[in-house]
Amino acid sequence: MILSRRWLEAMLGRSLDPKDLEHRLSMLGTPVEAIIPHHQDLGDVLVARVLEVKRHPNADRLSLCLVDGGGAPVEVVCGAPNVTAGHTYPYAPVGAVLPGGLKLEKRKIRGVESNGMLCSAKELGLGADHAGIFELATDAAPGTRLLDALPLADDQIVIEVTANRPDLLCHKGVARELGASLSVPFRLVEIPGAAPVPAPERSASASGTVGGVQVRLEDTEGCPRYLAAVIRGVRVGPSPSWLALRLEAVGQRPINNVVDATNYILFEINQPLHAFDLAQLDGPAVVIRRAGVGERIVTLDGVERTLSPDMTAICDARRPTIVAGIMGSATSEVSANTRDLVLECAYFEPRRIRRTRRALGLSSESSYRFERGIDLHGMPEAMRRAIALIQAVAGGELTGPPLDLWPEPTQPRTIFLRPDRVSALLGTPVAREEIERHLSAIGFVTAPKDSRLAVQVPGWRPDVSREVDLVEEVARFMGYDTFPDELKPYRLGTVPDAPAERAKDRVRAALVGAGFYEARTFPLGPADGPDSVPVLNPMSAEEAHLRTRLLPGLIRRVEHNWAAHTRDVRLAEVGTVFRRGDPGTKGPVEWVSVAGVLTGGRRPAHWTEGAKVPDMDIWDLKYHFELAVGVSAPDATVSERGNAWEALAPDGSVVGWAGSLGADAPVWAAPLFGFEVRLEEAAPLPVSYRALPEHPAVERDLALILPAGVTASAVEQRLRRNALLEAVSVFDEYRGPAIPGDQRSVAWHLTFRDPTRTLRDGEVDEILARALKALEDELDVRRRAS
């Protein structure tokens, strides 16, 4: 929303400093996005009178003007056809700087020296017209600064209006807030040449006649209140400069006096109006009804639109002429030929407008305001002011008082406010008088009622519906900064710290400690599995599904790093994944997944090793997978499956996977591996201390021949049956000529210890013999002949 500082100043009857304005509005809850100086770059331009116009001696299209710019008359070459002796024009003398930075110098044009320039509106940034120079309607003496002669210099105050405050979408609403803040009254600016307008006549029924036009309000749900007036004999033409300048100052292009007048009322008091050509109405009638199925209208933007019965249309006797509250048709619009017009001042139901606007994909200044709610009770005054303005700028005769159809009138809302509730909620005592003062300054009407205040809410504040809304109004005008901010004692809450967050902390710490950088990948992407959840309204086809796994996203991130010539990459992510819910359940199933990808050198290179380190392989992967499983799903066990590993929960379900990954890899890249595990929330049990050994251990090496299909872990499982085996580790694997077929030799280092006494070698020999017997019987594993 763009405000004109000058317009606000006119309403408040005092000057405003843009910086102060910005601060005040922000502290009242309306942030200022920008303050844009408007036409302040015209400071060098003067008012000048042309004393004499002669033909340029060397050019037919140019004239030579004698110009009184305040000092001694000077000669100026001018190319405009409309320059006339005795008239007044904007004049940029030598040395002046024009908008856009052009600095005027004395120079010869076709052999004649020109002392500056007479300017067109376009050259001054005042409009598109550059065919002729800009004739000024001013009594100011030649030499007066243009900015002193015309109300041009302004500041555009761009404010951000929250969705709850439609009243701030106009100058009146903002002036009301500023007036309360500055303790000055505000009033609407007098319209030059305005005549009194009779008050609208309320009709208790839903139809009536005004100026010979039948008005029928059929859709009272979509349009609770409808005012109409007929003005005959208007002269459509350009607006007077004061009106054009006001609109131009808020970024609106002047169109014609009638349309400009309705726009002025919109930006002044936030009442959208619609003026349409009576001659184009069949009937003549104005019918406010639901649109018929498939009814069509060509809107002002030239697009044919199909309406439906959940939209309100303003129709003549035959067809829709306006999509209510949004846009009119090209045919019914006021044109240069319009003589008689119907002026509409309506309240359209906000939700209806919003749904229609979305369905048609069509919005306008009007729909924006109707959607937020306009002042239902201020409409008669808005109508009178609009008529007065149209008559002042376009003439015309009002054919009788405006018609006001409001079949089910409502009273302004009254809310009861407890002053002690204000103090309690704001945490500081607030006197009843102070409450009343703040509320009445912005148009609320207060009256004592028992120990409370009965507060009548003005129509322009549809957001205020409960006591607490009034508390906010009081707090706003007291100023949020006036409240203390000293920390008081508090009671601890009853909610335990979320186990899910604690689990995420644990797994992140473990993976970061193992050398992973944490990644956060984008959770939307292409479908990555049969169960992936589609988004109904994605922003692109590539981001139309929620991820079921983290690994695909991480692989893309590795490729991104490869593209930046990074070879060593270890990324881990802890993130939410989703899959389609089971039939009969609402929404997807989601859980937290933990994944890692690794590629490149096992550790950073160092000069002592000739800067060569081996690349990570599947055994690095297995280590990190077991680490991730240990911290994410402590009850799960890792087992081999084909060329990969799985983590199996105690119930046998697969909760994790690790293996080699395919990717779009450059030739210099190392192999890529990855793992993914489902995160369990349960906290691990505290670790119980085991006494440190006091007796020596007995150590043995053991080389075994394993037939195909027998895993090292199966062997270890059997060795561990003896409680005295303290530690077991593989130190070699061999396949080759010395071992027949698809068998292999695996060598273990075993540590035996009895915590209560010193073990003897003979005991260990016996234990080993028993273990070898079991291995041979159960797994066909034998000791390798040395």
Q: Is 486 in the site for another protein (CB under 8 A)?
A: yes
Q: Is 451 in the site for another protein (CB under 8 A)?
A: no
| Distance from C-alpha of 482 to C-alpha of 61, rounded to nearest angstrom | 68
Residues between 608 and 637 with contacts to another protein, criterion CB under 8 A: 608
Q: Is 475 in the site for another protein (CB under 8 A)?
A: yes
Q: Contact, 210 vs 403, CB < 8 A?
A: yes
Q: Provide φ and ψ at 227, rounded to 5°.
A: -110, 140
- The contact mask relative to another protein for 282-311 (x = CB under 8 A, - = no) is ------------------------------
Which part of the chain contacts another protein (CB under 8 A), choosing from 54-62, 229-237, 284-292, 472-480? 472-480
- Taking the complex as a whole, the smallest distance from the CB of residue 508 to another protein amounts, in Å, to 6
- The contact mask relative to another protein for 252-281 (x = CB under 8 A, - = no) is ------------------------------
Q: Is 480 in the site for another protein (CB under 8 A)?
A: yes
Residues between 397 and 416 with contacts to another protein, criterion CB under 8 A: none
- Taking the complex as a whole, the smallest distance from the CB of residue 582 to another protein amounts, in Å, to 13
| Distance from C-alpha of 384 to C-alpha of 198, rounded to nearest angstrom | 7
- Taking the complex as a whole, the smallest distance from the CB of residue 634 to another protein amounts, in Å, to 21
The per-residue DSSP string of 655-723 comes to EEEEEE------TTPPPEEEEEEEPP-PPPPPPPP-PPP-S--EEEEEEEEE-TT--HHHHHHHHTTST
Q: Is 683 in the site for another protein (CB under 8 A)?
A: no
Cα 136 versus chain centre, distance: 44
Place of tokens 């906290």: 683
Among the listed residues 339, 476, 718, 744, the single contact to another protein using CB under 8 A: 476
Among the listed residues 139, 450, 485, 582, the single contact to another protein using CB under 8 A: 485
Residue closer to another protein (CB basis): 487 or 691: 487
Q: What is the DSSP letter of 762?
A: H
Among the listed residues 212, 238, 538, 684, the single contact to another protein using CB under 8 A: 538
Q: Is 426 in the site for another protein (CB under 8 A)?
A: yes
- Taking the complex as a whole, the smallest distance from the CB of residue 781 to another protein amounts, in Å, to 36
Residues between 515 and 534 with contacts to another protein, criterion CB under 8 A: 515-524, 533-534
| Distance from C-alpha of 112 to C-alpha of 363, rounded to nearest angstrom | 55
Residue 235: which residues within 8 A CB-CB, separation 6 or more? 257, 394, 395, 396
Q: How many residues does the chain have?
A: 786
| Distance from C-alpha of 555 to C-alpha of 89, rounded to nearest angstrom | 70
- Taking the complex as a whole, the smallest distance from the CB of residue 190 to another protein amounts, in Å, to 32
Residue closer to another protein (CB basis): 59 or 426: 426
Q: Is 584 in the site for another protein (CB under 8 A)?
A: no
From edge to edge, which strands make up the β-sheet containing 32-38?
Answer: 2-4, 154-159, 32-38
Helical pair 171-182 and 5-12, crossing angle rounded to 10 deg = 60
Q: Is 607 in the site for another protein (CB under 8 A)?
A: yes
| Distance from C-alpha of 721 to C-alpha of 746, rounded to nearest angstrom | 19
- Taking the complex as a whole, the smallest distance from the CB of residue 311 to another protein amounts, in Å, to 14
Q: Contact, 28 vs 192, CB < 8 A?
A: no
Q: Is 483 in the site for another protein (CB under 8 A)?
A: yes
| Distance from C-alpha of 401 to C-alpha of 203, rounded to nearest angstrom | 12
Q: Contact, 180 vs 477, CB < 8 A?
A: yes
Residue closer to another protein (CB basis): 45 or 558: 558
- Taking the complex as a whole, the smallest distance from the CB of residue 742 to another protein amounts, in Å, to 36
Which part of the chain contacts another protein (CB under 8 A), choosing from 63-71, 84-92, 274-282, 495-503? 495-503
Determine the 3-state secondary structure of 97 from DSSP: strand
Among the listed residues 176, 570, 622, 624, the single contact to another protein using CB under 8 A: 570
Q: Is 737 in the site for another protein (CB under 8 A)?
A: no
Q: Is 557 in the site for another protein (CB under 8 A)?
A: yes
Nearest to 317 by CA among 278, 280, 285: 285
Q: Is 491 in the site for another protein (CB under 8 A)?
A: yes
582: burial class by Cβ within 10 Å (0-12, 13-18, 19+)?
exposed
Q: Is 537 in the site for another protein (CB under 8 A)?
A: yes
Q: Is 588 in the site for another protein (CB under 8 A)?
A: yes
52: burial class by Cβ within 10 Å (0-12, 13-18, 19+)?
middle
Q: Is 511 in the site for another protein (CB under 8 A)?
A: yes
- Taking the complex as a whole, the smallest distance from the CB of residue 12 to another protein amounts, in Å, to 21
Alpha helices in 582-662 (DSSP H): 618-632
Among the listed residues 82, 84, 306, 576, the single contact to another protein using CB under 8 A: 576
Residue closer to another protein (CB basis): 150 or 571: 571
Q: Is 487 in the site for another protein (CB under 8 A)?
A: yes
Q: Provide φ and ψ at 204, rounded to 5°.
A: -75, -15
Which part of the chain contacts another protein (CB under 8 A), choosing from 151-159, 287-295, 509-517, 738-746? 509-517
Residues between 6 and 35 with contacts to another protein, criterion CB under 8 A: 26-29, 31
Residue 458: which residues within 8 A CB-CB, separation 6 or more? 375, 377, 412, 443, 444, 445
Which part of the chain contacts another protein (CB under 8 A), choosing from 127-135, 158-166, 292-300, 736-744? 158-166
| Distance from C-alpha of 516 to C-alpha of 538, rounded to nearest angstrom | 32
Size of the site for another protein (CB under 8 A): 94
258, HSE (Cβ side, Cα atoms, 13 Å)? 25
- Taking the complex as a whole, the smallest distance from the CB of residue 499 to another protein amounts, in Å, to 9
Nearest to 657 by CA among 632, 675, 634, 639: 675
Q: Is 539 in the site for another protein (CB under 8 A)?
A: yes
Residue closer to another protein (CB basis): 168 or 215: 168
In whole angstroms, how large is the CA radius of gyration of the chain?
42
Nearest to 569 by CA among 586, 556, 578: 556
Q: Is 682 in the site for another protein (CB under 8 A)?
A: no
Q: Is 428 in the site for another protein (CB under 8 A)?
A: yes
Q: Is 500 in the site for another protein (CB under 8 A)?
A: yes
Residues between 38 and 67 with contacts to another protein, criterion CB under 8 A: none
Residue closer to another protein (CB basis): 31 or 401: 31
Q: What is the DSSP letter of 378?
A: S
Residues between 329 and 388 with contacts to another protein, criterion CB under 8 A: 350-351, 354-355, 371-372
Place of tokens 């300017």: 119
Residues between 161 and 220 with contacts to another protein, criterion CB under 8 A: 162-165
- Taking the complex as a whole, the smallest distance from the CB of residue 390 to another protein amounts, in Å, to 30
| Distance from C-alpha of 34 to C-alpha of 676, rounded to nearest angstrom | 49
